[in-house]
A and B are shown apart, each in its own frame.
Chain A
């Protein structure tokens, strides 16, 4: 008994002694990134399943690269593995892409047009890999020579360029022998990206070292990226505050005080509102929400300023009337557009409009539906998604103020998701398509073809809206390659949105991004907005990961 006691005391004492080593070093050569929640990493670097959750985040952010990257801060393409893309014919059915000549795979082999051809051929042969559905509009792909590929379109489809350009390319010489690419774990990845060399892989941490053959010779100056596994926001927060994480995509409450205040010289954040807009969806298949005036009146009753301030810590702003975030800046109609005034808070007017529509208040102060029942409205939200829960609480109060018996209903994620997809809900708060293409955004939000009857799963247009004018404009937009024409069509789509109010825009999601500049520098920020800081956006983060530099290198440059 005594001996054991002593032994444990000694062990305990020595382990206390270890703590010297744990303390933050003055210099470190690896950049610590926290993105995916996990407690143990699974060794999977398959770039095709990375998007569906199987593969590691880094696969599409540091190892494999696309031909071009759409930069949502600048609203334009940044050439990456390709230098140029242009239409070869007036009918827009053949797209010629010119590739860079100086790119090598991380095993030293040259990158060629055949790799691009092989990748797209793989998507054709294995439908499960074609996540963005490029073969819905492609007819074929030709390898013109070592540096040129030609995409043949089945029909003119302008939004397809984004999907083609942002597809991650894999090396033919290694993947041609993979017989089951869908379930392939690709444990030792070879890519063209800046960080490809797995120098450490343990269940709770892994490291990717610099690609020795990286084509942007003067960029990607960090020795390695380190990915510690943390299961949730709490664990990330503690490490973030301790300065153990350099780049993260986490929601931080009261960030100025909590995070920046800890180390004002090094702790930075940038939450630009370029994410997807959060909407309140009213089920258009259920009366009275099938009437646009009712939807507009409900929208008028919502105090978005308060929602943004209380529920979102002022990190965002009330939505643009047509639901487009800042990522669509060049497309947006004026925020003062008269027909979009229903996104502004005016409870008195909302009440008047509902009175005029015949929803009179009863003696109890609650409005009655035409059949005489009390007007009650359940708003569904996911349990524990605290920003959304707060938003719904404010909205329910707003609606009760104008006489609608609104209540928040919290559901487990699976139950919430199943309800919205099947259209079996009255009202629900939800996301919208996270894209930079206006076509994709509005198709997802209001195309008749994008929805499904109530009871069947619809992956988009949960509120079951449909209008022939929308479908017609979307079709025209898909086939339009003329800038002015596209502007006009996107404007018309917005005007239809303002007129019909198919969904109620609340606020755009901020692109959460925090950076610690103690060891590294040249992160993007409000005064240096070359790309989004948030690691949530792939492949855009490639631009950031190639620009970040070790702090001392920057000093020596000065």
Chain B
């Protein structure tokens, strides 16, 4: 237990550093957020109104340290401020509205991709030179090397536009109101298929390859020979002995991927008009909406750290050696 919480201090420092970077990075971008609002007007807004709006939105010429102090104190109060590009919407509520859809899409596809990839990778290494090893893996690696969004566009064009099997976009049919009914769930699932498949196809190859490589190393170990000679069934040797040990590098990869869930499905979401955070981030960056950017980056940071912590826990469970070090 001490091990689990002992690292919390490390996470605290990491969060603080991330918060600092969130503050600094947007401000290093060229351009000025206020003139972005101006820009959408193509010159038709009076300068007086701009000045007044600027004050209203909380832009100040205060020294950077004062701004930093305000930023930190409001974050500590859980207040991310008001989005300037979606003014006067609160950053918190804007993010909250889209968070669920992103978690659903990216989370589901990541878990499917990881599980499937790990199993296929283990099997590929177990039957070296078999069908999975020789054909499925290289094919998926090939598909996975396409850019995400290009694969997504190809899928939309083929399955939504030409064959009309799946909807062109959105997370559910336009006339429906979200509700906890089976009909709505099926509708969501129907809309989820294509974007999820595009992410899975793009990432599956990587999982297979890393699992396969780890498996091959593990299969050459003495304890596998021991297990074999003990006369254990092949299934037990494969899953309980080899796969469990080979899983470790993949778990690390999963932790990193989990963290990127919030940001990683960005392009996919845009291609499928999925109401998640993808376009929100693009919009925030394009309009130099500092509060919204800070909010989104904060979410991503938290997700990465949370995922790391979960990986730490998983390691303790999977690898008794890490537990041993403690006692």
B-binding residues in A (CB < 8 A): 11-12, 14-16, 18-19, 21-23, 37-40, 42, 44, 46, 49, 51-54, 126-133, 136, 182-185, 200, 202-205, 226, 228-232, 234-235, 238-239, 241-242, 244, 276, 412-415, 417-418, 421, 431-435, 444, 457, 459-460
- Whether A183 touches B88, Cβ cut-off 8 Å, given contacts A12-B193, A19-B165, A127-B51, is yes
Q: Are B35 and A418 in contact (CB under 8 A)?
A: yes
- Whether A54 touches B190, Cβ cut-off 8 Å, given contacts A130-B48, A205-B174, A459-B43, is no
When each residue 117-151 of chain B gets 1 if its CB lies under 8 Å from chain A and 0 otherwise, what string results? 00000000000000000000000000000000000
Q: How far, in angstroms, from A444 to B47 measured CA to CA in the complex? A: 13
Q: How far, in angstroms, from A23 to B51 measured CA to CA in the complex? A: 50
Q: How far, in angstroms, from A431 to B42 measured CA to CA in the complex? A: 8
Q: How far is the CB of B44 from chain A (nearest CB, A)?
A: 7
Report the nearest A residue to B31, measured CB to CB: A414
Report the nearest B residue to A445, measured CB to CB: B43
Q: How far is the CB of B148 from chain A (nearest CB, A)?
A: 14
A44 surroundings in chain B (CB, below 8 A) = 86, 88-89
Q: Are A132 and B88 in contact (CB under 8 A)?
A: no
Q: Are B168 and A19 in contact (CB under 8 A)?
A: no
- Whether A444 touches B43, Cβ cut-off 8 Å, given contacts A21-B173, A182-B88, A183-B87, is yes
Interface residue ranges of B41-65 to A (CB < 8 Å): 41-53, 55-56
Q: How far, in angstroms, from A232 to B153 measured CA to CA in the complex? A: 13
Q: How far is the CB of A125 from chain B (nearest CB, A)?
A: 11
Report the nearest A residue to B171, measured CB to CB: A204
**How many of chain B's residues touch chain A, expressed as a range?**
35 or more
Q: Are B94 and A183 in contact (CB under 8 A)?
A: no
When each residue 166-191 of chain B gets 1 if its CB lies under 8 Å from chain A and 0 otherwise, what string results? 11111111111110000000110110
Q: Are A182 and B174 in contact (CB under 8 A)?
A: no
Report the nearest A residue to B278, measured CB to CB: A39
Q: Are B168 and A235 in contact (CB under 8 A)?
A: yes
A53 surroundings in chain B (CB, below 8 A) = 37, 40, 85-87, 287
Q: Are A182 and B56 in contact (CB under 8 A)?
A: yes
Q: How far is the CB of B222 from chain A (nearest CB, A)?
A: 31
Q: Are A244 and B31 in contact (CB under 8 A)?
A: no
Q: How far, in angstroms, from A128 to B38 measured CA to CA in the complex? A: 12
Is B80's CB within 8 Å of the partner chain A?
Answer: no
Report the nearest B residue to A226, measured CB to CB: B174
Q: How far is the CB of A507 from chain B (nearest CB, A)?
A: 16
Q: Are B41 and A230 in contact (CB under 8 A)?
A: no
Q: Are A415 and B30 in contact (CB under 8 A)?
A: yes
Contact partner of A136 among B32, B40, B48, B88, CB < 8 A? B48
Q: How far, in angstroms, from A459 to B44 measured CA to CA in the complex? A: 9
Q: How far, in angstroms, from A23 to B163 measured CA to CA in the complex? A: 12
B189 surroundings in chain A (CB, below 8 A) = 11, 15
Q: How far, in angstroms, from A235 to B193 measured CA to CA in the complex? A: 17
Contact partner of B49 among A22, A129, A185, A414, CB < 8 A? A129
B282 surroundings in chain A (CB, below 8 A) = 231
Q: How far, in angstroms, from A168 to B35 measured CA to CA in the complex? A: 24
B50 surroundings in chain A (CB, below 8 A) = 459
New A-B pairs, 7, CB < 8 Å, besides A39-B276, A228-B170: A19-B165, A23-B164, A37-B283, A183-B88, A203-B97, A235-B271, A421-B35
Report the nearest B residue to A440, measured CB to CB: B44
